[in-house]
Amino acid sequence: MKTLTQASEPGTSAASFSGRRLVELMLRYNFIVIFFAVVIIATCLSPNFLTFRNISNLFQQASVVGIVAVGMTFVILTANIDLSVGSVVACGGMVASLLMASGIPPLVAVAAALAVGAAIGGVLGAISAYAAVPSFIVTLAGLVTVRGVTYLMSNGVPIGGLPASFGQFGSMQVPLLPGLHFPLLALLFLAVVALAALVLRYTVFGEYVFATGGNAEAARLSGLPVRVIVTIVFALSGMLASLSGVLLAARLRIGQPTAAQGLELDAIAAVVLGGTSLFGGRGGVVGTVFAVMLLQVLRNIFNLLGLGSFYQMTITGLIIILAILLNRAIDSRQGRR
């Protein structure tokens, strides 16, 4: 009996280790577990939820905030925050719309809008980095200023009369398989995510971003151009926000100065829900994408249940708070900040 007991101990120990490992993985990637749990609930509520058409629609609806959230991930990884992105979305859409309405070719107008977004983000980032002003304050001022400039560009009036090709771009469906078409905007969203993930994971710049957010002073003493890195990530965030504005204008076929109000809160919520630390240095765009889709699926469920917008905002806010508290508890357990 003693021999049998001793022989079983390695197996028991291995099973226990595997169990602990599984629990650790579930805690580390809790947002993915929550996402699939919500998907299962949505599938039970509606048999049409997992259809290809509904999934493609979810990705299309998430594309605007998703692209903004990717840029926000870079900013938050450096322990900063960008509150101006909602206004930059509207500004980018308006710049492209005004130029196209005046006869400028769509490609030139889109390039100009992206350049404007990158310039706005770069200026705000440089002010924060070089003048040592908290990014929260700088970008809060940017939120108001950029929105005001956007209103001034058109006296607060939407811009229509855009080229037909631009509108067709916003509604284009790409055939993946016979009979299965996926929105082009959703594919662009996924392309941005893939490129951002590769940059963070496999490039020196990605390492610099994590190092800057992990400990800016140590990174500076190691010779890293911390202020330049911060400026670049803000420029990237502004450019992606402007891209989202262009895509939104193409989808709506109109430039709307009131577009994307409050979008910055959705982007920040998605980044934090996806496991990126507000203290910087930890996280990534994969978690952000799952969080963006989680919020989109929740809205889909709320609509299926017939909940009003007030209930939706309240429940979504409570879910975000609980998720943040869960992540903080996991961080404390693992000895992180």
Domain spans of the chain, in order of start: 33-42+49-333
In this prediction, residue 13 carries a pLDDT of: 59
Q: What is the mean pLDDT of each run of 10 residues along the chain (337 residues)?
A: 47 60 63 83 83 88 95 96 96 96 94 97 96 94 96 90 89 84 92 96 95 93 94 97 96 91 90 86 90 88 79 78 72 60
In this prediction, residue 302 carries a pLDDT of: 82
In this prediction, residue 50 carries a pLDDT of: 83
In this prediction, residue 331 carries a pLDDT of: 64
From CA 232, how far away is CA 229, in angstroms rounded? Answer: 5
In this prediction, residue 1 carries a pLDDT of: 44
**Which residues, other chains included, contact 257 with Cβ-Cβ below 8 Å and sequence gap of 6+?**
90, 94, 150, 151, 153, 154, 156, 157, 158
Selection from 230, 241, 231, 232 nearest residue 267 by Cα? 241
For residues 236 and 67, the answer to whether their CB atoms sit within 8 Å is: no
- CATH class given for the domain over 33-42+49-333: mainly alpha
